[in-house]
Amino acid sequence: MAKQTDAIELQKNFALLIDGKLVETENFLRVINPATEKVFAHCPVADQTHLNTSVSAARRALDAWSSKSYEERAGYIQQLAILLREHKDFLASLLTQEQGKPLSQSVAEIDRGASQSEGIAGIEIPIEALVDDEERYIELQYRPLGVVGIITPWNAPVNLALGPLVSALYTGNTIILKPSPYTPLTTLKMGELMREIFPAGVINFLAGGDELGHEMTKHPEINKISFTGSVETGKKVMASAAGTLKRVTLELGGNDPAIILEDVDPEAIAKKIFFAAFVNSGQVCMAVKRIYAHEEIYEELCSALAKEAKNAKYGNGLDPENHLGPIQNKMQFNKVVGILEDTKKIGARFLSGGTLPDMPGYFFPPTLVTDIDEDSRLVREEQFGPIVPILKYKDVEDAIRRANDTPYGLSGSVWSNDRERATKIAKRLRVGTAWVNQHRATSAYVPFGGAKESGIGRQYSILGLKGYMEPEVLSVVK
């Protein structure tokens, strides 16, 4: 476990990246370790002048960068992936201190980010010939949008930065990236490392609060915003971006259902279901957030999941014995505690957790709840924390109706020994991604994003990459 003196040393080592230069500022953010509730680092804060300077630098760098071939830009991204792997131990330790997740999961996040980056940079975006006859040739080509503003959240700051960053760079755009003020440090360090690779102005990393994000969304010289975060904030981003008709990709919240059919072996799937619900202490947009279990296996599944919850150790993420870390920040902790208190008031039954530990940190034990009404906050809202309801159903049609009865539509899953039957049910979920006998399975080659209020546009795959480009028709008379 890192000593406090080690963390204090980190205070001196952070800077913004603007036009290839590391920039320090007089104003700073206090970054709190959620496992201790103590400030362990200071982070520089960008103002309007820093933003304008970054945008100007990104625009100056745009022509040279966009004129490079896909293969040339992919070469830069390959170097980025190598650099991330070379520095992953340091980055993972820093990520755990600012975000809270177990160190092994921080390492996995960086490894996955590197692999996803390589995957994205291996996707071909061909010119599409629409008509080629004796009279006309018409093709559909794609060109970069320009300067892309990227605003990322605090739950997976490495992965959720690299996806849009690499997509924007590979397609020929230049970028301004702003991480969450709760978890800015690992992102700024990645920017410092990337400075060794990318030409000045191509990448710019700024840190700041909501005001900086708002200035990015309305800035007239930023052509697109990629935002990952809550539905409420996503709506504000879209409204602000509308003033300049910016393109937007919004990856927003979810309330993912998992429908468990009666033919499963509860003991066999419990570990997978539990991990899909509680990884990163439930702070994952596509985590399982509602479990619908058939009445024939309901009690057995409840027992199997409760066993997993009681065996899951939680505590400081730097301790390798812990499976779960804290909730990342006080605001989110208070929200989840509020849902817990409301759940207690309505008389729901707790299979695990439900009592907060008397210890420093924003710790919340893995909590499973049954005998709860469909209209409760825990079922209707995105809890984004380690408290999950298990709901009983008798008829699968009822389960499908209840699963779809939500303004969210990010993802969902169906679990069964009958793959064909489960697939038919999964196709009826009104979500961006429906899985069968799995959850949270993503790939650089597969589009990901939400239906309904869970987002607009897609990340990853050729579909996601085209979202960072302007389609342009070329029509020639022969």
Q: Does residue 155 register a pLDDT over 90? A: yes
In angstroms, the CA 235 to CA 215 distance is 15
Q: Does residue 6 register a pLDDT over 50? A: no
φ and ψ of 376, to 5 deg: -70, 160
Q: pLDDT, tens digit, for every residue of 274-307?
A: 999 999 999 999 999 999 999 999 999 999 999 9
Amino acid at residue number 218: K
Position 8 scores a pLDDT of: 40
Cβ atoms within 10 Å of 341's Cβ, excluding its own: 10
Q: Cα angle vertex 210, ends 218, 238, to 5°?
A: 40
Amino acid at residue number 466: K
The per-residue pLDDT of the chain, averaged, comes to 96
Using an 8 Å Cβ cutoff, are 390 and 302 in contact? yes
In angstroms, the CA 175 to CA 18 distance is 11
Q: How confident is the model at residue 10 (pLDDT cuts 50, 70, 90)?
A: very low
In angstroms, the CA 58 to CA 119 distance is 25
Instruction: Give bridge partners of residue 131 from the DSSP assignment.
Output: 138
Instruction: Indicate the pTM of the whole model.
Output: 0.96
Amino acid at residue number 136: R
In angstroms, the CA 349 to CA 298 distance is 14
In angstroms, the CA 219 to CA 215 distance is 6
In angstroms, the CA 384 to CA 405 distance is 19
Cβ atoms within 10 Å of 8's Cβ, excluding its own: 12
Q: Does residue 342 register a pLDDT over 80? A: yes
Instruction: Give bridge partners of residue 43 from the DSSP assignment.
Output: 29
Span 308-336, mean pLDDT? 97
Q: pLDDT, tens digit, for every residue of 85-94?
A: 999 999 999 9
Position 12 scores a pLDDT of: 59
Q: pLDDT, tens digit, for every residue of 345-378?
A: 999 999 999 999 999 999 999 999 999 999 999 9
Cβ density class 402-434: b for 16+ within 10 Å, e for less:
bbbebebbbbbbbbbeeeeebeebbebbebbbb
- Lateral strand order in the sheet of 387-393: 349-352, 367-370, 387-393, 288-294, 256-260, 411-415, 433-436
Q: How confident is the model at residue 450 (pLDDT cuts 50, 70, 90)?
A: very high
Position 265 scores a pLDDT of: 97
Calculate the alpha carbon distances from 119 to 10, 66, 187, 443 in Å: 32, 20, 20, 8
Q: pLDDT, tens digit, for every residue of 192-248?
A: 999 999 999 999 999 999 999 999 999 999 999 999 999 999 999 999 999 999 999
Position 444 scores a pLDDT of: 97
Q: Does residue 473 register a pLDDT over 50? A: yes
341 is catalytic: no
Span 74-91, mean pLDDT? 98
User: Percent of the chain beyond pLDDT 90?
Assistant: 97
Among residues 251, 308, 382, 453, the one annotated as catalytic is: 251
Among residues 215, 285, 302, 382, the one annotated as catalytic is: 285
In angstroms, the CA 54 to CA 202 distance is 9
Q: Does residue 2 register a pLDDT over 50? A: no
251 is catalytic: yes
In angstroms, the CA 221 to CA 56 distance is 8
In angstroms, the CA 36 to CA 360 distance is 6
Position 56 scores a pLDDT of: 98
Q: Does residue 120 register a pLDDT over 50? A: yes
Q: Does residue 125 register a pLDDT over 70? A: yes
Position 13 scores a pLDDT of: 86
